[in-house]
Amino acid sequence: MSEHSARIERFWRDNQLFSALVELTYRCNLDCFFCYNDVGLAGTPLAFERYGELLEEMARLGVLHLTLSGGEPLAHPDFFRIGARARELGYVVRVKSNGHALRGALARRLRDEVDPYLIEVSLHGAVAATHDRQTRVPGSFERLLANLEGLRELGLRFQINSTLTAWNEAEFEGMYAIADRFAVRLQIDPEVTPRDDGSREPLSIAASREGLRRLFEFEAERSRTYAASQGGGAAREPAIVRQGDSIAPPSPRANGSGKFCGAGSSNVCIDPYGNVYPCVQWRRPVGNLHESTLAEIWATSRGLADVRELERQIARRLAGEESSLLGFCPGQAEIVTGDAAAIYPAAVVRRELLREVNRESAKRALLPVIRG
Amino acid sequence: MTTSERYRRASDVRYRILDGEAVVVRQRAAEVLGLDAAGSRILDLLDGERPLANVAATLAEEYEGDRETIAREVEAFVAELAAAGVVEPVEEGE
Ligand SMILES: C[S@@+](CC[C@H](N)C(=O)[O-])C[C@H]1O[C@@H](n2cnc3c(N)ncnc32)[C@H](O)[C@@H]1O
Ligand code: SF4
């Protein structure tokens, strides 16, 4: 285990806050069909002064990794003031953006005033018809590609995120080709999640089993190609230049912290109205920043104590379950089944498919590799 | 390296000191480093204002040991940090 992984394990065990994802606003300049945001959520938005206090408090508590998300974080009127303050306070800032506004003067301001470690942009297909079908904004695909070119010219590091859906499952090779063209990492999430208000409407475009299998096979093949190009071995790196995830907190599933993941132990998520959650995916409110400081919530929240206990139970329960294949997420389990520890159907499908793909890969690994 | 020299953390360095240890990220290189308690303290003191002699004197107050040995160790460590791109010398007049 690397020194950094051992450190992260200790953070999980000791409830040492280290990463925060802050959803600045649910406003957005796109209108994705599957967007999980609960745009009907009521509450008083956190004012700029409160963000300032929060950033100072989180720095004191030890948070190093700060992800600004949303909605579209750039649509928040104080985005640059918040981002600049985060930079001053020494955060490693990631910005999750749809990329639509990321061009020209705004992109330069992002570089010069916020200096993010990484921008994560979302791509929904390999062609305009598919991407724009999701975003429901004609021209958004072409504009995104042009903006990515601009980010590259400005020297801003970015990666591309995507979610496999029924609409784009025949296009992931094309999405990888786009990422390869920019020599950036592409991360495809195989699962569409329900909306944060519980609605399952987004699941109507979940990828098919066959689509998932093809994605897993394709990614396994890329890993093999990469491993061979690196002189063999069992590397899991895709055949692309990886820029940027090497310092992401690792998410080892079998770990010595006694917990399943870092949700509510070293990670926290804050929505635009000050609600605090263990993780962006686990929408169980454990406090509100209009009523308490984050330090108070972290130390005394009954809800967080429950989450941490659940994390220990899940770690025990999944110990023998090939849990890395399940891609299990307690937040997802809770929203789908009502029980954060229940293995939900999408996880079972994923494990079945990955087992099959791994078996195939193991067979093929026996074939000799000819190197030029 | 002389004791009047000043060093500052490189502009792409981000860090937190947790439990006495520094977790340091070099953004440009996408690299994480860990520093022990003494190393963290030195990194924290390298603010571009204090001369190395001052950093060494602070360490000598906080740690047991002979002042000269500590000063030598501080210098050697700062040289290591500089070689790793974590800190950089401040030019005269800056
Ligand atoms: C809610 S968005 C916020 C950041 C920014 N607006 C964007 O789209 O990248 C965060 C990520 O979640 C993805 N996403 C949105 N709804 C989803 C869902 N129901 N299931 C899975 N991923 C989803 C988006 O594609 C995006 O990559
Ligand atoms: S761009 Fe992001 S926040 Fe906006 S609708 Fe799409 S997924 Fe939601």
Cβ distance A11 to B15 less than 8 Å, yes or no, reads no
Average pLDDT for A264-290: 97
What whole-number distance in Å separates Cα of residue A162 and Cα of residue A177? 13
pLDDT one-digit tens code per residue, A77-131: 999 999 999 999 999 999 999 999 999 999 999 999 999 999 999 999 999 999 9
A334 lines ligand 1 (CB under 6 A): no
Tokens of A112: 């010069």
Domain range list for chain B: 6-84
**pLDDT at position A363:** 73
Per CATH, domain B6-84 is 3.90.1570: no
**Is it the case that residue A243 has pLDDT exceeding 70?**
no
- How many whole angstroms from A100 Cα to the centroid of ligand 2? 10
Q: Token pair 């100072």 is at which residue? A: A56
Chain-centre distance for alpha carbon A7? 21
Find which of B23, B28, B33, B36 to mutate to test the A interface (most A CBs within 10 Å of its CB).
B23
- Residue numbers in A near B25 (CB within 8 A): 64, 92, 117, 247
**Is it the case that residue A254 has pLDDT exceeding 50?**
no
Can you tell me the ipTM of this complex? 0.93
**Is it the case that residue A362 has pLDDT exceeding 90?**
no
**Is it the case that residue A239 has pLDDT exceeding 70?**
no
By the CB < 8 Å criterion, does B48 face chain A?
no
Cβ within 8 Å of residue A349, ≥6 positions away: A209, A212
What whole-number distance in Å separates Cα of residue A77 and Cα of residue A272? 12
Q: Which residue from A3, A4, A92 is facing B27, i.e. has the nearest CB?
A: A92
pLDDT one-digit tens code per residue, A179-234: 999 999 999 999 999 999 999 999 999 999 999 999 999 999 998 887 777 765 44
Q: What is the average pLDDT score of chain A?
A: 90
* pTM of the complete model: 0.93
CB A239 within 8 Å of CB A226: yes
| Angle of the A209-229 helix axis to the A345-365 helix axis, nearest 10 | 40
The percentage of chain A sitting over the pLDDT mark of 70, rounded to a whole number, equals 90
**Is it the case that residue A366 has pLDDT exceeding 70?**
no
**pLDDT at position A179:** 97
Count Cβ atoms below 10 Å from residue A40 Cβ, excluding itself. 10
Cβ distance A244 to B30 less than 8 Å, yes or no, reads yes
- How many whole angstroms from A36 Cα to the centroid of ligand 1? 7
Cβ distance B19 to A117 less than 8 Å, yes or no, reads no
Q: Which residue from A7, A92, A244 is facing B34, i.e. has the nearest CB?
A: A7
Residue predicted with more confidence, A81 or A5: A81
Count Cβ atoms below 10 Å from residue B87 Cβ, excluding itself. 23
Quick one: pLDDT band at residue A361, thresholds 50, 70, 90?
confident
Average pLDDT for B20-47: 94
**pLDDT at position A242:** 28
Mutate to test the pocket of ligand 1, among A24, A33, A151, A163 (most ligand atoms within 8 A of CB): A163
Distance between B17 CA and the closest CA of chain A, angstroms = 7
Average pLDDT for B10-37: 94
pLDDT one-digit tens code per residue, B37-93: 999 999 999 999 999 999 999 999 999 999 999 999 999 999 999 999 999 999 887
Residue among A95, A145, A151 nearest A125 (CA)? A145
Average pLDDT for A350-363: 87
What whole-number distance in Å separates Cα of residue A184 and Cα of residue A220? 18
CB A153 within 8 Å of CB A210: no
